[in-house]
Amino acid sequence: MTQPDTSQEKQAKTLTEHLKSIGGALLIVALTLLLLEGVLRVTDPWDIAYFNDLSVMGNEHFVGDAERGYTIQDGNYEYSHWEATIADETRMIPNTNPDAACNIVILGDSVAFGYGVDDADVWVNQLAGQFPNVHFVNTAIPRYNSTNVLQTYDVFPDGDAYLYMIVNNDTATAIDVETMEFAGGGEGLPYLVRYTNFAIFRGGGTAYIAPDDPNNLVADTAETRRFFSELDTLLEDERVYLAAFELESVTNTLLDRDYDVTLLEYPPQRISITDYHLTAEGNGELASQLVPLIETMVSERCS
């Protein structure tokens, strides 16, 4: 005859059953998270891989340079969704005419460089096809600030005209590629963590958001004073022309101080929900906006 369970035995069985239930639930949660992690890594719907590109570029492809601060050595570089070719430490422009008598040098950082798209799709190359009598040289490098731009201008003294595309972070401190580690938007962390971070802090899915309103100016700091001092040095050369995006605080300040700057509307087409760099189509829109300025530069400096 089976003996009935004692109260103590019943409690032990109940605890075991609860632990099994909790363990089963935790296993289901873990498997679900692993499945989501795998799906995000394979599909990457927000194209966070573009931030991995920044990490690879910064940690592996940027090299210190005594004249420009840092540069990218000649070669073809493959990234997550795009390639970049560097020749003579400048971004290759397939459409440009190297034999043209008129030389226009592009100065700037990642937007001028064409981060995120192939050589043929960069706005400079799309412009070059419309100006066969101009030899364009794209000296821009991602993360350049005005110090790097001024140094690069000194390295390329023979341009008939220079176009400096200014963005807000040109007022930032110059980076030291020998000591700086580029994180690449959380590279190495689980994609679930990275996607959660971007969802919370970057508002995934929104259109381009200008960081400031028309009345907001840059703060008066040592770095912004450096920026305007270096900009004034550049503008001692009448061959230098400026372009900047509307509503950025640095642009507002340029206008407030009566700098002659061509205003640009930032195209809405970006390479991913989390990265505001331009797609090939966005680069095309930017090229279209710059046609009148290039025509002026050619007329004033190359005729």
Q: What is the pLDDT of residues 55-66, one digit of tens each?
A: 899 999 999 999
pLDDT at 78: 96
CA–CA distance, 250 with 167 (Å, rounded to integer): 7
Can you tell me the distance from the alpha carbon of 295 to that of 252, in angstroms, rounded to the nearest whole number?
25
Is pLDDT of 231 > 70? Answer: yes
Cross-strand pairs, 261? 242
Strand 161-166 vs strand 102-107: parallel, antiparallel, or unpaired?
Answer: parallel
Residue 25 belongs to a domain: no
Q: What is the mean pLDDT of residues 232-258?
A: 96
Q: Give 71's strand partners.
A: 63
Q: Is residue 100 part of a domain?
A: yes
Q: How far is CA 25 from CA 29, 110, 192, 274, in A?
A: 6, 47, 20, 33
Query: Would you state the pLDDT for residue 181?
Result: 78
Indicate the pairing of strand 240-245 with strand 261-264.
parallel
Q: Please give the Cα distance from 124 to 129 (Å, whole number).
A: 9
Q: What is the per-residue pLDDT across 116-140, written as a single tens digit (0 to 9) for each?
A: 999 999 999 999 999 999 999 999 9
C-alpha 194/C-alpha 189 separation (Å) is: 7
Q: What is the pLDDT of residue 185?
A: 61
User: In the structure, what pLDDT confidence band is assigned to residue 100 with cuts at 50, 70 and 90?
Assistant: very high
Q: Ranked by mean pLDDT, which of 153-167, 169-183, 186-200, 211-225 comes out on top?
A: 153-167
Give the chain's radius of gyration (CA, Å).
Answer: 26
Surface-to-core class of residue 279, CB atoms within 10 Å of its CB (0-12 exposed, 13-18 middle, 19+ buried): middle
Instruction: Find the range with the poorest average confidence among 145-159, 213-227, 242-256.
Output: 213-227
36 located within any domain? no
Is 11 a domain residue?
Answer: no
pTM score of the predicted model:
0.86
pLDDT at residue number 51: 81
Write the pLDDT tens digit of every residue in 162-180.
Answer: 999 999 999 999 999 988 8
- In the numeric block, which tokens belong to residue 16? 């075991």
Percentage of the chain beyond pLDDT 70 is 89
pLDDT tens-digit series, residues 5-50 = 566 666 666 777 777 778 878 888 788 878 888 887 887 888 888 8
Contact 214, 68 (CB under 8 A): no
- Decide: 124 and 107 in contact? Cβ < 8 Å: no
- Alpha-carbon torsion 147, 52, 249, 282, what sign? positive
CA angle 100, 117, 87 (to 5 degrees): 45
Distance CA 91, CA 114 (A): 9
What's the confidence (pLDDT) of residue 6?
A: 63
Query: Is pLDDT of 209 > 60?
Result: no
Domains contained in the chain, number:
1
Residue 194 belongs to domain with CATH number: 3.40.50.1110
Assigned domain for 195 exists: yes
Range of the domain at 258: 49-301
What integer pLDDT is reported at residue 220 of this predicted model?
94
**pLDDT number for residue 4:** 58
Considering only residues 50 and 271, tell me which one the structure prediction assigns the higher pLDDT.
Answer: 271
User: Is residue 3, in this structure, part of any structural domain at all?
Assistant: no
289 phi and psi, to 5 degrees?
Answer: -65, -30
